[in-house]
Structure 1
Amino acid sequence: MVVQHNMQAANANRMLNVTTGQQAKSTEKLSSGYRINRAADDAAGLTISEKMRKQIRGLDRASTNAQDGVSAVQTAEGALTEVHSMLQRMNELATQAANGTNSTTDRKAIQDEVDQLSTEIDRVSETTKFNETYLLKGDQGTKTINLEAHDAGLKGTLTNNGDGTATFTMDALKGGDKISIGGKQYTIGGTTEQDVKDFLKKNGVEDKADSTFSITSGNKTVTYKYYAAKADVATGGNTTYGYDAGWYNEADAPTTSTTTGDQATVNAKKKDSYEAFATQSGTFTAAGKTLEKATITDANPTDGVDDKDSTVISVQKAYELAGKELLKANQIGDTEGHASVKNADDSDLAYNAGNGSFKINLAQAKVASTLSFNLHVGADADLTNKIQVNIDAMDSASLGIKGLNVNDKNGTAGTYAIDAISDAISKVSSQRSSLGAVQNRLEHTINNLDNVVENTTSAESRIRDTDMAKEMVNYSKNNILAQAGQSMLAQANQSNQGVLSLLQ
């Protein structure tokens, strides 16, 4: 028996310390709810858990970002709802102003309301904001936009060329046609002989070899060609007679002959100079272009307007008037003075020029640049996590209705304003549609983010959180072991007491 080293007590004490340590850890886990409270608990698990926490918190913030984006988009779209309402009212007013029953006073009152609505559209654009960001005002800087082309209500084909110009080709006109230009009714009058001569000369028809043109009258078309003179040729005592230079029916082309009688017959078919054909009626075609020679009336060749009836005009006068109306229609909203109309061959509008095809330089407006901002909807620094929102300036200049006028004598201005307002409504509709599409996308984004957060949180919980039931089992076990250890330590401390009996 020894007293210096009580190994039973030492062993019991060591095991009690181990149990107490394990009991402390169980208590910590049960108290905190976490299985991993420090790196020593699970070094690899802690790394994985913190990485997941970073993703979860980032995705939570991204979801909030997307929700803020929805709020911003809804703010802009709500303001545009009122802009739409005002444009619809302006369309109603323009339609009213276009009616011929209105007096000057009536149209002035209509114009006053149009002005007020236009001003309110500008105010909405200037003041609509979300968290200090003006949504409909555009961004810093300016850009020049081309407005839509208008056909002034004329019948024809309008084509936007995509380069700041448009082409308008009127339906073909002929003598006797009725046409409305600028709210006035006109009748296409006859074409003078001089008009025909000028037309032929302008399109390369001259008294020279191989020059051709045709005349169509009813269902019959005759093509004429100018043939150069063919000289007589003497061969071996025989003579082949040629023919004189001049215009011949191409279907009955001149040929050489061996008799003077036949030669005379051939030459008898020769026509006078091309100018003489101008006395005929019909449709003249030269170089692929046509001119109708009508016989309803002879319009005054100095201005294209009949002297006795100003509603009777020549075809080219109709083109001139149509071009001027196209200019009026396309000047609406032109803040830069860029709109212009010329004939397709770049000649100026005139009563004796043009063929019904026009080149339109589109109206332009200088407006604020497009507002663009990105919504970050992911947890990573990846550009694919950006959703871009673009909102054009929505003031009257951007919509092409700045300075819109419906106040004139005959309602033409109101008529042309209807087209301009229609374009403005279409532009606002397009912007609202774009915002609606972004909002729908953001709602799907939010749903996806929330789903990822939920599933990632579940995975992180399995790594980091305490399984309370399992840990209570360990705690109960360690509690019992601690009590047993304390009891055994007490017993071991008592075992050395037997030594005292030897010392008595």
Structure 2
Amino acid sequence: MATINTNLLSLTGQSSLKRSQSHLATSIERLSSGLRINSAKDDAAGLGIANRMEANLRANDTVTRGISDAISLLQTANGGLDNINELLQRGRQLAVQAANGTLSTADRGAVQREFHHLRDQIDKIAYETEIFDKYPLAPAKPHQVDNQLGNVSSVRDVDPKIGMPQTSGSIPLGFIPTDVAQFSIRIDDLGMNDDLQIFTRDGKHLIGTSLGAESTWSSSTVDIHSGEDVEQKVFTSSNGFEADAEYDDSLLLDGSGFFDRSNPRTLTYNGMTLSYSGDGNPATPKDTIETLNIDHITEPLFVMVTGEGSFVIEEFDWVDDPPEPTPISKPVDIVVDAQFGEGLSKVTIDPAPADARSLGIAAVSLETRGGASSALEKFDSALSILDQHRSRLGALHNRFEGSIENLQQQKISTSSAVSRIMDADYSSEIVNLTKAQILQQAGTSMLAQANQVPQTVLALLG
């Protein structure tokens, strides 16, 4: 039927031309962007899958950087541990040297001074090894100063009962903690021949009078005549001494052989200087007052008074000397996986405390053969602790390197999968573009022809 109101041929041509225009636009968009999927309409499901993969790719890149930082932390920690290991090896060598019977007291004093420098350097490395504001070799928790050892309180918690008579015996008056400095005590034994005694926790007798038949140790209230008696009656857990404490008087500044309050004699031990007046009673005329001063405390010291039974404390003083705050090491969580929808997977780098106290060598003394033998065991234990730290950190280092290699392989595989979904196939799109261009040109030409069809109606009017 010939009509002029509705040109079906033109409508058909227009529809085909619109489709070819759409295909042409799609091909141009893909070729210009390089992507097969430029919006959700291109492939809704594919876009969702590729987007999750892209999330994993970006997360893995960030995880890889974080793991690389963790490796840097481990390398820093291992470097510090290597240096500490060398210092421990030298310290152990000094312990072997000090155990040799050919060394004099002065020689062992020189050995002890060198060890003090080694110990200080170990602490310096442990406290100053830092990266990312982390201190992997510092103590795992702040070292707390004890206020109670066994049943014995620190001097700050002791009532000295100044000027009041007290009973002497084999129980410490108290102990001097390490956060105390300038400790001083003056006692008057009221003619009862009671004497000051100073002990370390491991049993070293530093200040006082030696054991003997005529000493204050042999009084009826104390009744101690030998080192074995001291270990049984004094070195008890209730008195706060270490379980393996052994009586050692090789460093004893024996007050029974001198007395001079104006010019006291001194003993240097573990970085402390102890100034002692000596025992006044043997002097002529008798002087019943004894004094002791300690400049600063590097390890707890027990204060005792032994004798016939009565003394008065005239001075009991100290200065609080809290140690400077030191950094502590904390566990560090490292993200090793962050796959879409699965949350975070972490590996924890635990602290590797390597300061002198954590390694158990803070109170080492090399000034006696017995102390050197005991120190050898402590150095062996410290080296074992250090080896455990190094092996654990080394294993983590290998694990993190393996994680990075795995993430890199995942990146290659995932990128390939995303490419297959998202990227345009240029050879295919060129074919589509050419096809769309030809259809576009043909459609335009045919639409022009279709628009001429109604003009044939004019022939009927002629």
Q: State the partner residue of 1:32.
A: 33
> Would you say 1:433 and 2:434 are equivalent positions?
no
Q: State the partner residue of 2:130.
A: 129
- 3-state SS of paired residue (1:377): strand
- 3-state SS of paired residue (2:403): helix
| Cα shift readout 1:291-335 (whole Å, capped 9, x = no counterpart) | xxxxxxxxxxx99xxxxxxxxxxxxx99949979xx8xxx9xxxx
Paired residues of 2:128 and 2:135 also in contact (CA < 8 A): yes
Specify whether residues 383 and 107 from structure 1 end up closer, same or farther in structure 2 by C-alpha distance, changes over 3 A only: farther
* Structure 1 counterpart of 2:331, one-letter code: S
Paired residues of 1:70 and 1:439 also in contact (CA < 8 A): yes
- 3-state SS of paired residue (2:331): strand
Q: How does 1:228-267 map to 2 (within 5 A)?
A: none
* Structure 1 counterpart of 2:136, one-letter code: L
Specify whether residues 337 and 450 from structure 1 end up closer, same or farther in structure 2 by C-alpha distance, changes over 3 A only: farther
* Structure 2 counterpart of 1:74, one-letter code: Q
Specify whether residues 456 and 337 from structure 1 end up closer, same or farther in structure 2 by C-alpha distance, changes over 3 A only: farther
Q: How does 1:26-175 map to 2 (within 5 A)?
A: 26-140=27-141
Distance 1:80 1:434 in 2: 12
Q: How does 1:267-282 map to 2 (within 5 A)?
A: none
Specify whether residues 471 and 123 from structure 1 end up closer, same or farther in structure 2 by C-alpha distance, changes over 3 A only: same
> Would you say 1:379 and 2:282 are equivalent positions?
no
Distance 1:382 1:503 in 2: 79
> Would you say 1:407 and 2:367 are equivalent positions?
yes
Distance 2:387 2:230 in 1: 31
Tell me the CA shift for residue 140 of structure 1: 4.8
Equivalent of residue 435 in structure 2, options 467, 477, 496: 477
> Would you say 1:450 and 2:353 are equivalent positions?
no
Specify whether residues 50 and 438 from structure 1 end up closer, same or farther in structure 2 by C-alpha distance, changes over 3 A only: same
| Cα shift readout 1:96-128 (whole Å, capped 9, x = no counterpart) | 222233344433332222111111111111111
Distance 1:463 1:502 in 2: 59
Tell me the CA shift for residue 497 of structure 1: 5.1
* Structure 1: gaps spanning 5 or more residues: 146-181, 183-301, 304-316, 350-362
Tell me the CA shift for residue 32 of structure 1: 1.4
Tell me the CA shift for residue 494 of structure 1: 4.1
* Structure 1 counterpart of 2:14, one-letter code: N
* Structure 1 counterpart of 2:83, one-letter code: E
Cα root mean square deviation, aligned: 3.8
Distance 2:57 2:395 in 1: 27
- 3-state SS of paired residue (1:130): coil
Q: State the partner residue of 2:450.
A: 492
Paired residues of 1:323 and 1:341 also in contact (CA < 8 A): no
Task: Tell me which structure has the larger Cα radius of gyration.
Answer: 1
Paired residues of 2:335 and 2:347 also in contact (CA < 8 A): yes
Specify whether residues 70 and 319 from structure 1 end up closer, same or farther in structure 2 by C-alpha distance, changes over 3 A only: same
Distance 2:25 2:55 in 1: 29
Q: State the partner residue of 2:16.
A: 15
Paired residues of 2:63 and 2:338 also in contact (CA < 8 A): yes
Specify whether residues 140 and 98 from structure 1 end up closer, same or farther in structure 2 by C-alpha distance, changes over 3 A only: closer
Tell me the CA shift for residue 431 of structure 1: 0.5
Q: State the partner residue of 1:205.
A: none
Most deviating of 24-33 and 487-496: 487-496
Distance 1:116 1:342 in 2: 26
- 3-state SS of paired residue (1:44): helix
Distance 1:420 1:383 in 2: 45
Tell me the CA shift for residue 417 of structure 1: 1.8
- 3-state SS of paired residue (1:388): strand
> Would you say 1:465 and 2:368 are equivalent positions?
no
Paired residues of 1:97 and 1:107 also in contact (CA < 8 A): yes
Provide the identity percentage.
Answer: 36
Aligned residues: 307
Specify whether residues 425 and 391 from structure 1 end up closer, same or farther in structure 2 by C-alpha distance, changes over 3 A only: same
Distance 1:452 1:492 in 2: 58
Tell me the CA shift for residue 42 of structure 1: 1.3
Specify whether residues 111 and 319 from structure 1 end up closer, same or farther in structure 2 by C-alpha distance, changes over 3 A only: closer
Distance 2:43 2:457 in 1: 49
> Would you say 1:340 and 2:300 are equivalent positions?
no
Paired residues of 1:369 and 1:392 also in contact (CA < 8 A): no
* Structure 2: gaps spanning 5 or more residues: 147-202, 204-211, 214-224, 249-298, 301-325
Specify whether residues 76 and 449 from structure 1 end up closer, same or farther in structure 2 by C-alpha distance, changes over 3 A only: same
Tell me the CA shift for residue 399 of structure 1: 0.6
- 3-state SS of paired residue (2:21): helix
Q: State the partner residue of 2:358.
A: 398
